[in-house]
Amino acid sequence: MLGFFSFTEITDPSAHEVYNAWHQLDHLPEQFGVDGITFGERWVRSPRCQAAEAATSTLLERFHYMTLYLLRDERVLQPFFDLAVRLRAEDRFFSERHALLSGPFEVTGRWAAARVAVSPAVIPHRPARGVYVVVGPPVDGAELIEQPGVAGAWQFADHPSGRHVTVAFVDGDLWAVAGLLGPPSVAGALPEWAGPLERVDAYHWDWFATLTPQ
């Protein structure tokens, strides 16, 4: 199984609402027409998330959203890319965006907290309040799920670069979890980014409204 990530910057500060409407109401639903895409969701690095993050780097200091699709296997990549080409040709693509980090990662670890009862394989499908993400070195998922408020975690690896993305699915208070999962949980190597990301709820897209120049 693969996880396809996109850490995306919106290059027009006034376009967040338009971007969110496009992605959540048009682009994301279309992905599920591709046989082999089993999950898709996007989270926001809101100003509150940015204030609570534990680490950042030049690569990811400007991203606003993280999207994750789960693909059954590498054979799904071609139809996934073909869909993107078709949507561009139909003028159904959002241009004021830049992917700072994007591509397929192999699933290398899955964990579920004992209290949630469900298996590690279905953790992404269980409703969560947000996620805590670490980009860079691998993180011990077994330690993550011992933290209050963490329902489970998945880890992904890009073997050529050695980069890992660990996603902890949070069903407790996201900000309390962010306070617990600081630098000590990724000791030994400096992450490229670590912090909380909020859930994106339909039609509630105003996180950056007060930051938009008038």
Q: What is the pLDDT along the chain (214 residues), one digit of tens a residue?
A: 999 999 999 999 999 999 999 999 999 999 999 999 999 999 999 999 999 999 999 999 999 999 999 999 999 999 999 999 999 999 999 999 999 999 999 999 999 999 999 999 999 999 999 999 999 999 999 999 999 999 999 999 999 999 999 999 999 999 999 998 875 445 566 899 999 999 999 999 999 986 544 4
Q: What is the 3-state secondary structure (H, E, C) of 118-182?
A: CCHHHHHHCCCCEEEEEEECCCCHHHHCCCCCEEEEEEEEECCCCEEEEEEEECCCHHHHHHHCC
Distance between CA atoms of residues 6 and 98, nearest Å? 9
Distance between CA atoms of residues 154 and 149, nearest Å? 15
Just give the CATH number of 2-203: 3.30.70.100
- Domain ranges in the chain are 2-203
Q: Count CB neighbours of 90 within 10 A.
A: 8
Distance between CA atoms of residues 15 and 212, nearest Å? 9
Buried b (16+ CB within 10 A) or exposed e, 58-81: eebeebbbbbbbbbeeeebeeebe
pTM attached to this predicted model: 0.94
State how far the alpha carbon of 17 is from the alpha carbons of 41, 66, 94, in Å: 17, 16, 12
